[in-house]
Amino acid sequence: MQALLRLLPLPRTSYGYQPPPQATAHGWRCANYDCGAAVRHWPRRCRLCGWPANPEFDEPWAHHALGAELSWQIRQFPRSGAGIPQERLIEWHLKDALLRRDLPSAAAARGAMHHYIRSRQMVDSWWNPSFLLGLAVFDAIELRDLDGAADDLCSWLCGFAGDRIEGDNAALANAKSVINAGVAFLAAPGGEGHPRAAEIRKGCLRVAGGCLRADRRPTAAGQALAWRRQLPEPGGQKNDGSLGASAPNDPSSC
């Protein structure tokens, strides 16, 4: 019976995605967002809450299903959907264009993302763009769009000016996110040699210096110095681990 079910097309999901006949999945998960338990076999229901199960798709159908699911969440839950699901969908459109190698659509999606960031920051000065920009930068690195990743990183880094990090845990978390993204960019193939690599490295060092001033714990100092060692000098030279004068706290360094 299970062998026969594996030959059948995968069903339409609870969020409205109809997979094509050739789609495959590696598992099943409860469609109840308050549960989300793994379901061993379809068409069995969740043993915990009795809800039906959705397929856990393999790529590329997982990507297509995610876009449909995020759109459904925004429509179904207008209040909560205006937060993380909306941000994920904005970035999904960028990733989708990069996967299709559609550069004009990628540029349009990236422009829409930055417009959303500016709009959110105008109405909510406490809103943190690190989740959205982190998704965009890491996906761009993975999909070899180093120019786009560099542009997003430099824009992200320029969001840090003066001593704004000090005493602000959210800003400190944002700072750590952008430095990790910068380290990943410079470690990626072609990252060190990118035309904006020096700008990214300088911005990361500036933010790392702010983190060290904001958090005096030994663990924070160790993290800041570890970042310093992971940020290569131009030409691939190794660092001695000091933050020193090479990390000025100068917003004009953007």
| Model pLDDT for residues 24-42, shown as the tens digit of each residue | 999 999 999 899 999 988 8
Percent of the chain with pLDDT over 70: 76
Which DSSP letter does residue 55 get? E
Instruction: Give tens-digit pLDDT for 49-61.
Output: 999 999 999 999 9
The three-state secondary structure class of 89 is helix
pLDDT in tens, 181-232: 999 999 999 999 999 999 999 999 888 877 766 666 666 566 666 777 777 6
Structure tokens given for 61 = 């159908």
43 preceded by a cis bond (ω within 30 of 0): yes
Would you state the pLDDT for residue 120? 92
* Residue ranges covered by each domain of the chain: 26-56, 57-116, 128-231
**Cβ density class 24-43: b for 16+ within 10 Å, e for less:** ebeebbbbbeeeeeebeebe
pTM: 0.83
Which pLDDT score is estimated for 190?
95
- The identity of residue 58, as a single letter, is D
Q: Is the pLDDT of residue 233 over 50?
A: yes
Query: pLDDT confidence of 250, banded at 50, 70, 90?
Result: very low
Mention every residue, 6+ apart, whose C-beta is less than 8 A from residue 30.
36, 37, 38, 39, 46, 48, 49, 51, 52, 53, 54
CB of 169 closer than 8 Å to CB of 192: no
